[in-house]
């Protein structure tokens, strides 16, 4: 629909930014922190761009006060960050490391002092290594109990001051990259294990939500899902089916489990036929149904376009981690779908489509299928930035990207979607997992690169001043 007048953003709309522990903190062994799977994986030769790792990252663990001061200056209403499980439980379970709790406690208090609502992510991919070694991490049902115990410690410690909680960040990505494509730890490529791990992770997600209800009755919790809405390449019926398949396999498989406590029938049917369906034990589906979230957290970066894929067509995925545009090949599931470039959309240097309208489409789809508020937990542009003389970064492309996405959110709100928050990814520059430090997302430039930590100086980009105005005017200026 075309609105002749757009609704204003709600008065208490949460304008924010997001980060993740491994990508910003560094301090990998400070104050009793245990090792995480990423602390070792990123050190294996050939796993990440130019061998980068998060040992130091952008040193937020030691510079958090400076970072919060910058957040206060820009006027963030919320800051979403993750807790490193291995800081709280160095061995994943057992004794709590008080120093770890203290770090986040101080951060939370400082945020609140600056009128910034803390939003905690329980799990953003850094699993205590001890659990991977003891029982294979997410492959064992034992993790349901250990994850829940860890979550309970955080609910008890911070539930009095923290209202917004994200349970699992991008379950679809950490399991896909970890167990299907072999790109993240533990580097497995096995569809059956991938679906089994997902089932276990969904159960852990539900169990943590069940405990949350008891301990943080006034809080709100939900997972952050990496939502890439599916488009058909053409109006050929077989392409429509391919796009619908993708929506079921890539999106509903997770979101239906979170909200309805069931899996899409069509996908389950396919998995059973292929012999790769997860083992569902008695009581599992009941637990899933009890773990309904309060909102759908959405990390939105791009849409994906699909066409039909013959039975002998393309399979597994390869990704562009170098920033050399046009290096992402087609991928798919034979007989189900395959990806195609969308002729109507531009893409980033990492071949991610730039599609603000796709965010509106995604928000509308979530609203009509799940009838839940949406917490946009990530959105942003990964780009090469140039530090000019005099500590200037003219990132007009980032301003344009975020501005268009904010407009799309306002359209969605005008359509009737209940959007409660918008967190840009990210606040400071950070480590982009496989992509090194050159893929920058922040409003604050961090002076380091793949080769050297330099001085890790914080430098405000042009977008920093622009986002400040957006927040001050509650989205009127954008």
Positions that interact with ligand NOJ (CB under 6 A): 20, 23, 169-170, 299, 378, 425, 432-433
Q: Tell me how far CA of residue 169 lies from CA of 68, 175, 298, in angstroms.
A: 22, 11, 9
- Please compute, for residue 157, the number of CA atoms within 13 A of its CA located in the half-sphere on the CB side: 24
Residue 260 DSSP code = T
* 169, 82 contact by CB (below 8 A): yes
Closest approach of Cβ 149 to ligand NOJ, in Å?
24
3-state helix, strand, coil in the chain (%, to 5): 40, 15, 40
Closest approach of Cβ 225 to ligand NOJ, in Å?
10
- Taking the least distance from each CB to ligand NOJ, the nearer of 270 and 301 is 301
Closest approach of Cβ 169 to ligand NOJ, in Å?
5
Query: Of 97, 195, 92, whose CA–CA distance to 149 is shortest?
Result: 92
- Taking the least distance from each CB to ligand NOJ, the nearer of 223 and 373 is 223
- Taking the least distance from each CB to ligand NOJ, the nearer of 181 and 263 is 181
Closest approach of Cβ 110 to ligand NOJ, in Å?
23
Give me the active site residues, please.
Answer: 170, 378
Supply the DSSP string of 90-147, one letter for each residue.
TTSSSS--HHHHHHHHHHHHHHHHTT-EEEEEEESS--BHHHHHHH-GGGSTHHHHHH
Residue 207 DSSP code = H
- Taking the least distance from each CB to ligand NOJ, the nearer of 169 and 320 is 169
- Taking the least distance from each CB to ligand NOJ, the nearer of 97 and 228 is 228
Token readout for 411 is 């359209």
Question: Distance between CA atoms of 278 and 288, rounded to whole angstroms?
Answer: 14
Residue 34 DSSP code = P
Task: Count CB-CB contacts under 10 A for residue 261.
Answer: 18
Closest approach of Cβ 350 to ligand NOJ, in Å?
8
- Taking the least distance from each CB to ligand NOJ, the nearer of 155 and 433 is 433
Token readout for 297 is 């957290």
Closest approach of Cβ 340 to ligand NOJ, in Å?
22
* Bridge partners of residue 375, in order along the sequence: 297, 421
């Amino acid at each position: 629909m075309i609105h002749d007048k757009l609704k204003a953003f709600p008065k208490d709309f949460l304008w924010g930014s997001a980060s993740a522990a491994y990508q910003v903190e560094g301090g990998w062994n400070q104050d009793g922190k245990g090792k995480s799977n990423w602390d070792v994986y990123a050190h294996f030769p050939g796993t990440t761009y130019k061998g980068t790792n998060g040992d130091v990252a952008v040193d937020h663990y030691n510079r958090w006060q400076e970072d919060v001061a910058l957040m206060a200056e820009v006027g963030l209403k919320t800051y979403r960050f993750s807790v490193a499980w291995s800081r709280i439980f160095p061995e994943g379970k057992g004794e709590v490391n008080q120093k770890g709790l203290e770090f986040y406690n101080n951060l939370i208090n400082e945020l609140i002092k600056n009128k910034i609502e803390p939003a905690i992510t329980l799990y953003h991919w850094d699993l205590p290594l001890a659990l991977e070694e003891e029982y294979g991490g997410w492959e064992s049902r034992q993790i349901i109990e250990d994850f829940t115990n860890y979550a309970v410690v955080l609910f008890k410690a911070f539930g009095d001051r923290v209202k917004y909680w994200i349970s699992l960040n991008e379950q679809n990505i950490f399991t896909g990259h970890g167990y299907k494509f072999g790109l993240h730890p533990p580097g497995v490529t096995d569809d059956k294990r991938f679906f089994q791990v997902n089932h276990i992770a969904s159960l852990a997600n539900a169990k943590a939500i069940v405990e949350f209800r008891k301990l943080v009755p006034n809080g709100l919790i939900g997972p952050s899902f990496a939502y890439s809405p599916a488009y058909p390449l053409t109006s050929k019926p077989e392409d429509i089916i391919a796009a619908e398949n993708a929506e079921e396999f890539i999106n509903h498989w997770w979101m239906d489990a979170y909200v309805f406590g069931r899996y899409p029938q069509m996908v389950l049917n396919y998995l059973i036929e292929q012999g790769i369906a997860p083992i569902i034990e008695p009581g599992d589906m009941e637990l899933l149904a009890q773990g309904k979230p309060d909102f759908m957290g959405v990390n939105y970066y791009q849409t994906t376009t699909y066409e039909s894929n013959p039975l002998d067509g393309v399979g597994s995925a390869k990704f562009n981690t170098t920033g050399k545009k046009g290096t992402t090949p087609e991928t798919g599931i034979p007989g189900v779908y395959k990806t195609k470039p969308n002729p109507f959309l531009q893409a980033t240097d990492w071949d991610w489509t730039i599609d603000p309208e796709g965010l509106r489409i995604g928000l509308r789809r979530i609203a009509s299928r799940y009838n839940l508020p949406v917490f946009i937990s990530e959105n942003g542009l990964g780009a090469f930035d140039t530090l000019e003389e005099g500590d200037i970064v003219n990132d007009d492309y980032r301003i344009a990207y975020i501005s268009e996405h904010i407009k799309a959110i306002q359209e969605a709100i005008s359509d009737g979607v209940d959007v409660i928050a918008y967190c840009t990814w990210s606040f400071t520059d950070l480590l982009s997992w496989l992509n090194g430090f050159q893929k920058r997302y922040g409003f604050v430039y961090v002076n380091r690169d793949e080769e050297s930590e330099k001085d890790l100086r914080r430098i405000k980009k042009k977008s920093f001043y622009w986002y400040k105005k957006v927040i001050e005017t509650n989205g009127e200026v954008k």
